[in-house]
Homo-oligomer: A and B are copies of this chain.
Amino acid sequence: MQLLKDRILRDGYALGNDILLVDSFINHQVDPEMMRQIGMEFARIFGDKGVTKVATIAVSGVSPALMTALELGVPMLIMKKEVSRILSQELLQTPVHSYTRGNDYLLTAKRCFLEPGDRVLFIDDFLANGEAAMGAVRIVESSGATLVGIGSVIEKAFQPGREKLRTLGYEPVALARIGRLDEGVIEFEEN
């Protein structure tokens, strides 16, 4: 998505060879019009998958997921990050390790919002180590719903997220794939 790549080059910043700072338009301050374009692009890509629900993870996934769900005309489900296990038959929970924050959390969703007939599209802001996405896969699969697609706004293609998802049979779609980062340097990789 050229609009997004241009914006990353203009307003993003690479902190060393690992961290891409996009907090002026993606995940702290958010550009709503850019998010609308991102939602339209995901809706175009996944429009023929019979999506009944868009799922995402709090906090940064909410903006692109909401705009995608708006375009597709389906509800959005926000999976939350809980610090401790909540004993309830009503909840689906799975442990996830965050490399960004260096901690662990329990990805959590209410069971009643993921039904066996649902066709779920998972949307998040970043695909990097893939731990969050793998957690989302486990939550959706354990509910009996069908995961019909995985979309990331930005993929750090030099990290193993895509490979991990492939081992489960999923091929994620990213709107901008980063091939290399270095202090002040951002290089894209073709899809």
Contact = CB atoms under 8 A, between A and B. Distances in A.
Interface of A: 23-25, 27-33, 35-36, 58-59, 62-63, 66-67, 69-70, 73-78, 80, 109-110, 113
Tally of this chain's copies: 2
Cβ-closest 6 pairs across A and B? A32-B70, A58-B59, A32-B69, A30-B76, A62-B62, A29-B113
A174 to B, nearest CB: 21
Given A30-B69, A35-B66, A59-B78, 12 more contacts: A24-B113, A28-B77, A28-B78, A29-B110, A29-B113, A32-B70, A33-B70, A33-B73, A35-B70, A36-B70, A58-B58, A58-B59
Nearest to A70: B32
In this complex, the member of A30, A32, A76 whose beta carbon has the largest number of chain B beta carbons within 10 angstroms is A32
25 contacts: A23-B110, A25-B75, A28-B77, A28-B80, A28-B110, A28-B113, A29-B77, A30-B66, A30-B69, A30-B75, A30-B78, A31-B75, A32-B66, A32-B67, A32-B74, A32-B75, A32-B76, A33-B73, A35-B66, A35-B70, A59-B62, A59-B78, A62-B63, A63-B76, A66-B66
